[in-house]
DNA sequence: TATTGTTATACTCTATAACTATA
DNA sequence: TATAGTTATAGAGTATAACAATA
């Protein structure tokens, strides 16, 4: 419990921490360019992919439903999101992006290209390699057997996951 | 609408997003285990590595100095951090972790082993590779210590064949 | 009775601006 | 004048608990 991991692992963990910090900074900056907070941007992007009830939004955002009320309130007051009744269950309210909300989400996506820029420093082969390593690290789409290394062009094709 | 980056890049960006999301969840969870918020945990970990003035804390945390006042206030009221005068400049206050604060930071570090666990799925060679890719991606100079640059002399070089 | 969404409450984080005490 | 830290203020996110409408 007190034993330190080997130095290599510590170094990689630190690097991941740096990636995380930089990603977050840039995400907030991109959101701010559209006068959105990070939480608002995340919710809007989620809705742009698929309209859903408040409850499900809370699950996706991993927060309490009461918080979603406030975030949607602010987006709605700016005309980016709408609440619609669910004909099937009158308790449910569906959050739906307006046309402007959809457009904003799209702009947001391109603003988020920041994430692409640092990747531009890597060759295609390196990106493939990075993809495979991250997939293995996250336990996605690859064998749990850690005894053979990935081959470019080889093993894992689309795990088609989502979320962020 | 706007041209999308190539699919490979999109995939890698998504993976990084997943890493970021998971890292954050786990960081908050680890902090909460010690009844700390994420911001408090980050500040405490920073101080555990090196005591510093309030101003520098703000720079490290990339927030306004006024915020640091509050965060340190809460940590101080719990006996985890202390404010000490700087003999050289009486305007400056140095934030210093108490013994208990140091211990908490240490526990925090081990709680943060979540970051180590997924890396356990990678072999040492793969971790080295991942390290180099992340360094290049982040625009960090190549490792100062060549000791852990195995046969993968060229970062753009393929994976596998010597490794793992 | 259970579920959906909301309200009310309290706390933390955040930025801005004004203030103090030094320098 | 400039700097370090604080205070005051306001807005946003968060969790908890209580509530209304509906199932």
Residue B105, classed as helix, strand or coil, is helix
Evaluate whether residue B12 is within a structural domain.
no
Q: How many domains does chain A have?
A: 1
For B39, the domain range is 22-118
Q: In the prediction, which pLDDT does B11 show?
A: 87
Residue at B142 is within a domain = no
In Å, what is the CA distance from B126 to each residue of A107, A147, B76, B129? 36, 11, 42, 5
Per the domain annotation, does B46 fall within a domain?
A: yes
Helix (H) or strand (E) run with residue B135 in it = helix B124-137
Residue B72 lies in a domain: yes
Which residues interact with strand D by a CB < 7 Å criterion?
A: A 37-40, 61-64, 66-67, 70-71, 74, 89-91; B 53-56, 65-66, 68-70, 72-73, 83, 89, 91-94
Contacts of B132 (CB under 8 A, 6+ apart): B142, B143, B149, B152, B155
pLDDT in tens, chain A (164 residues): 556 668 888 889 889 989 999 899 989 999 999 999 999 999 999 999 999 999 999 999 999 999 999 999 999 999 999 999 999 999 999 999 999 999 999 999 888 765 667 777 889 999 999 999 999 998 886 554 433 444 433 333 333 333 33
Does residue B34 lie in a domain region? yes
CA of B107 to C1' of D11 (A): 34
Q: What percent of chain A has pLDDT over 70?
A: 80
Q: Residue A159 domain-assigned?
A: no
Is B17 within the bounds of a domain?
Answer: no
CA of B75 to C1' of D8 (A): 21
CB contact under 8 A, A131 and B8: yes
Residue of B nearest to A5 (CA): B116
* pLDDT value of residue B117: 76
Report residues of chain B scoring pLDDT below 70: 1-5, 113-116, 142-164
Residues 70..99 of B with a Cβ closer than 8 Å to A: which? none
CATH number of the domain residue A25 falls in: 1.10.10.10
Question: Is the residue at A99 inside a domain?
Answer: yes
């Amino acid at each position: 419990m007190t034993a330190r991991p080997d130095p290599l692992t510590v170094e990689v963990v630190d690097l991941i921490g740096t990636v995380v910090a930089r990603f977050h900074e840039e995400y907030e900056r991109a959101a701010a360019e559209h006068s959105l907070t990070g939480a608002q941007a995340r919710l809007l992007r989620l809705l742009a992919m698929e309209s859903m009830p408040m409850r499900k939004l809370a699950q996706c955002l991993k927060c309490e439903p009461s918080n979603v009320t406030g975030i949607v309130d602010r987006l709605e007051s700016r005309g980016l999101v709408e609440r619609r009744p669910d004909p099937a269950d009158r308790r449910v309210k569906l959050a739906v992006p307006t046309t402007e909300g959809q457009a904003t989400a799209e702009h947001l996506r391109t603003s988020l290209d920041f994430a692409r820029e640092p990747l531009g420093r890597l060759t295609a082969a390196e990106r493939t390699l990075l993809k495979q390593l991250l997939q293995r690290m996250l336990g996605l789409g690859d064998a749990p057997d850690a005894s053979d290394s990935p081959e470019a062009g080889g093993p894992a094709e689309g795990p088609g996951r989502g979320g962020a």
